[in-house]
Amino acid sequence: VSATTASRARTRTFPVIEIFGPTIQGEGPDAGMPCNFIRLGGCDYRCTWCDSMHAVDPALVREHAKRMTAERIVALLDELPGTADLVVISGGNPALHDLEDLVRLLKASGRIVSVETQGSRWRRWLESVHRLVVSPKPPSSGMATTEHMRAFWDFMARADAASKRPAIKVVVFDHVDFDWAVQLKLNLEASYEGLPFFVSAGTNVMGEDFPLRYQRQGICERYQWLCEHVAAEPAFADAKVLPQLHALAWGQEKGR
Ligand code: SF4
């Protein structure tokens, strides 16, 4: 590590919305694994059902985010209880930031680094993470326009050029989303055969005060509906279907 890189890691700061754990990863290839989360502020999307607006809306990001260096972030993770190896960098869209130094420090501390992004902007540092989970947004988000999808396919081409094989996760709320996910899977298979593909039953944003048992009921009903459709869909023979496990356990409690 050069002196310049080390000094950059000490001075460059990132807008941290929250660092929390231990919890479990609720979705995707590491679903069910104990982990800690780093949520960074800033997002180039505005999904209709976003449950992390405090990490998206610029005014809320300004209000909630604390600027921290990569070294400070790792020090705060070290203070968390538990022994989780996995750390998930989420947002917002973490790919809006240059996280090369942060990822390097996290890996040097022995952690498994997972990044979740919608796949709108490729970054060189994404090559170096252990797990890259790309979550293109379906029509119900309002973010599946031709322009958004052009950015996604560009992201995939760049990942492929860097020999990076991401896992794909699609949140599904309704029949339109489901059909869109099927077509996406078929299109991905044509160019990038065998990428791990996860279909996630979407959770309605109800607010933290909505009784947990009703939140759980809604999650289970949509999950059952989605399981039945995935099981009957040939394109999803090798896909996995999951509810958002963190939402099932804790509802929309923040810091979970
Ligand atoms: S991409 Fe994620 S963080 Fe950004 S608006 Fe959509 S759901 Fe929210």
* Residue among 195, 204, 203, 202 nearest 235 (CA): 195
Asked whether 52 lines ligand 1 (CB < 6 A), one says: yes
Element spanning 160, H or E: helix 146-161
Q: In whole angstroms, how far apart are CA 173 and each of 53, 186, 222? A: 19, 19, 8
Q: How far is the CA of 1 from the centre of ligand 1 (A)?
A: 34
Confidence grade of residue 9 (pLDDT, cut at 50, 70, 90) = low
Q: What percentage of the chain exceeds 70 in pLDDT?
A: 96
Q: How far is the CA of 160 from the centre of ligand 1 (A)?
A: 24
For a ligand 1 pocket test, name from 118, 121, 135 the mutation site with the most ligand atoms within 8 angstroms of its C-beta: 118
Confidence grade of residue 254 (pLDDT, cut at 50, 70, 90) = low
Confidence grade of residue 10 (pLDDT, cut at 50, 70, 90) = confident
DSSP output for 63-115: HH-EEEEHHHHHHHHHHSSS---EEEEESS-GGGS--HHHHHHHHHTT-EEEE
pLDDT of residue 43: 98
Rounded CA-CA distance 172/203 in Å is 9
Asked if the model's pLDDT at residue 204 lies above 90, the reply is: no
The pairing of strands 66-69 and 112-117 is unpaired
* Residue among 151, 239, 227, 154 nearest 198 (CA): 239
Q: How many CB atoms lie within 10 A of CB 193?
A: 7
Asked whether 138 lines ligand 1 (CB < 6 A), one says: no
Mean pLDDT, residues 197-221: 88
Q: Average per-residue pLDDT in the chain? A: 94
Nearest CA to ligand 1 atom 8: 50
Asked whether 9 lines ligand 1 (CB < 6 A), one says: no
Asked if the model's pLDDT at residue 208 lies above 80, the reply is: no
Q: How far is the CA of 45 from the centre of ligand 1 (A)?
A: 6
pLDDT of residue 164: 98
pLDDT of residue 139: 98
Asked if the model's pLDDT at residue 150 lies above 70, the reply is: yes
Tens digit of pLDDT for each residue in 183-197?
Answer: 999 999 999 999 999
pLDDT of residue 256: 63
Asked if the model's pLDDT at residue 165 lies above 90, the reply is: yes
For a ligand 1 pocket test, name from 50, 89, 205 the mutation site with the most ligand atoms within 8 angstroms of its C-beta: 50
Q: How far is the CA of 135 from the centre of ligand 1 (A)?
A: 10
Question: Which atom of ligand 1 has the smallest separation from the CA of 53?
Answer: 8
pLDDT of residue 97: 98
Confidence grade of residue 238 (pLDDT, cut at 50, 70, 90) = very high
Chain position carrying tokens 């078929």:
186
* Residue among 224, 203, 225 nearest 214 (CA): 203
CB 44 within 8 A of CB 94: no
pTM of the complete model = 0.94
pLDDT of residue 147: 98
Mean pLDDT, residues 144-163: 98
Rounded CA-CA distance 199/207 in Å is 23
Asked if the model's pLDDT at residue 209 lies above 80, the reply is: no
Tens digit of pLDDT for each residue in 65-123?
Answer: 999 999 999 999 999 998 899 999 999 999 999 999 999 999 999 999 999 999 999 99
Kindly calculate the radius of gyration of the chain based on its CA atoms and give it in whole angstroms.
18
